[in-house]
């Protein structure tokens, strides 16, 4: 993969999941190998999509429809407790899902642009709609990971999700809890950049807290 020295946007933001009741659409972007045949670029809109890129797309679209279950244990130096964070995708759309349409794609400057449309089933529309309430707080998070690490973009996304949970809870001004658990949903497609060999991810999310366990004092 070619090292990009300038800051390069790698994902064009999809509108909020609440802005359209019938489908999710947008352009996903991914770096391609430096061995990619750039001579093929002209007048070609049917490039093969690498499996890791497809997995990234599925992870994000699933995260906008179903979200993740999470458990977060903040670090605590005084108690000698290390930070722990677990994330489990609630459901994942299949690669063969007929509602996911890979439209045209193109390559420019070693970046692949892939146009995607995912048509929502009625039960998926209902699930997304259930999150659209002022009772569920929103948040923002950032994460990063080296482009040379396997699944680096996915790991940067997970770090951004964790960061968004930390930011939202800290904004409440409460004491650090022992453990937080709940569900988190992407409000829109993450913004992903590459800068000096590092994926940088920004997310906007909704957080549904299921349980907040405080430390017990004796």
Each residue's pLDDT expressed in tens, for the chain with a length of 218 residues: 343 433 445 554 556 666 667 999 888 888 876 555 555 554 455 667 788 889 999 999 999 999 999 999 988 777 778 889 999 999 999 999 999 999 888 888 777 888 899 999 999 999 999 999 999 999 999 999 998 888 888 999 999 999 999 999 888 877 788 899 999 999 998 988 888 888 899 999 999 999 988 877 64
Q: Look at residue 183 and tell me if it is in a domain.
A: yes
Tell me what pLDDT residue 127 has. Answer: 95
Q: Look at residue 192 and tell me if it is in a domain.
A: yes
CA distances from 147 to 2, 51, 81, 130 (A): 10, 16, 30, 36
Q: Look at residue 15 and tell me if it is in a domain.
A: yes
Number of domains in the chain: 1
Q: Look at residue 145 and tell me if it is in a domain.
A: yes
Q: Look at residue 218 and tell me if it is in a domain.
A: no
Q: Look at residue 1 and tell me if it is in a domain.
A: no
Tell me what pLDDT residue 112 has. Answer: 84
Q: Look at residue 2 and tell me if it is in a domain.
A: no
**Alpha-carbon dihedral angle through residues 170, 174, 179, 181, given to the nearest 10 degrees:** -70
Tell me what pLDDT residue 63 has. Answer: 96
Give the domain range for residue 67.
Answer: 8-213
How many angstroms separate the CA atoms of 178 and 81, rounded? Answer: 9
Tell me what pLDDT residue 11 has. Answer: 52
Q: Look at residue 132 and tell me if it is in a domain.
A: yes
How many angstroms separate the CA atoms of 125 and 22, rounded? Answer: 7
């Amino acid at each position: 993969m070619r090292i990009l020295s300038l800051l390069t946007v790698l994902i064009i933001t999809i509108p909020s999941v609440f802005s359209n009741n019938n489908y999710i659409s947008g352009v996903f972007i991914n770096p391609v190998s430096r061995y990619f045949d750039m001579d093929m670029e002209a007048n070609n809109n049917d490039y093969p999509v690498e499996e890791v890129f497809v997995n990234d797309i599925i992870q994000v679209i699933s995260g906008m429809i179903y979200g993740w279950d999470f458990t977060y244990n903040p670090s605590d130096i005084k108690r000698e407790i290390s930070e722990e964070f677990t994330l489990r995708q609630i459901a994942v759309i299949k690669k063969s899902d007929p509602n996911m349409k890979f439209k045209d794609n193109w390559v420019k400057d070693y970046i692949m642009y892939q146009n995607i449309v995912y048509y929502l089933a009625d039960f998926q529309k209902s699930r997304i709609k259930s999150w659209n309430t002022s009772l569920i707080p929103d948040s923002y998070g950032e994460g990063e990971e080296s482009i040379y690490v396997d699944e680096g973009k996915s790991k940067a996304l997970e770090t951004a999700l964790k960061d968004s949970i930390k930011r939202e809870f800290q904004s409440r001004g409460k004491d650090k809890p022992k453990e937080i658990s709940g569900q988190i949903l992407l409000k829109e497609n993450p913004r992903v950049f590459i800068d000096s060999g590092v994926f940088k991810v920004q997310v906007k999310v909704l957080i549904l807290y299921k349980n907040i366990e405080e430390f017990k004092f004796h």
